[in-house]
Amino acid sequence: MPASNMRKTIATRLVESKVTVPHFYLEIEVDAGPLLALRAQVNEAFGESAKVSVNDFILKASAHALRRVPAVNSSWMGTSIQQHAAANVSFAVAIEDGLITPVVFNAHAKSLFQISQEAKALGAKAKAKKLQPNEFTGGTFCVSNLGMFGIQRFHAIINPPNGAILGVGTTVKKPVVNEKDEIVVGHRMALTLSCDHRVVDGAVGAQFLSALKEILEKPLLILG
Q: Is the pLDDT of residue 49 over 80?
A: no
Any domain includes 124: yes
Any domain includes 171: yes
pLDDT at 50: 79
Q: Is the dihedral of CA 213, 217, 218, 223 positive or negative?
A: positive
Q: What is the CATH number of the domain that holds 120?
A: 3.30.559.10
Any domain includes 74: yes
HSE-CB of 45 using CA atoms within 13 angstroms: 7
Give pLDDT tens digits for 10-21.
999 999 999 999
pLDDT, mean of residues 12-31: 97
| Residue 172: strand, helix, or coil | strand
7: DSSP letter: H
Mean pLDDT, the chain, whole residue set: 95
Which of 23, 64, 187, 197 does the annotation list as catalytic?
197
Confidence band, pLDDT 50/70/90 cuts, at residue 224: low
Any domain includes 173: yes
119, with CB counted inside 10 A (0-12, 13-18, 19+), is buried
Residue in 29, 33, 28, 58 with CA at minimum distance from that of residue 187: 33
Query: Count of H helices and E strands in the chain?
Result: 6, 10
pLDDT at 155: 97
Any domain includes 126: yes
- Asked about 23 being catalytic, the answer comes back as no
Any domain includes 14: no
Give pLDDT tens digits for 120-148.
999 999 999 999 999 999 999 999 999 99
Distance, in Å, from the CA atom of 201 to the CA atom of 138, rounded to the nearest integer, reads 23
- Report the number of distinct structural domains present in the chain: 1
Amino acid at 213: K
117: left (phi over 0), alpha (psi -120 to 50) or beta: alpha
Any domain includes 196: yes
Give pLDDT tens digits for 164-180.
999 999 999 999 998 88
Domain span at residue 64? 29-222
Any domain includes 217: yes
Q: Is the pLDDT of residue 212 over 90?
A: yes
Q: Is the pLDDT of residue 47 over 80?
A: no
Distance, in Å, from the CA atom of 146 to the CA atom of 14, rounded to the nearest integer, reads 18
pTM confidence score: 0.95
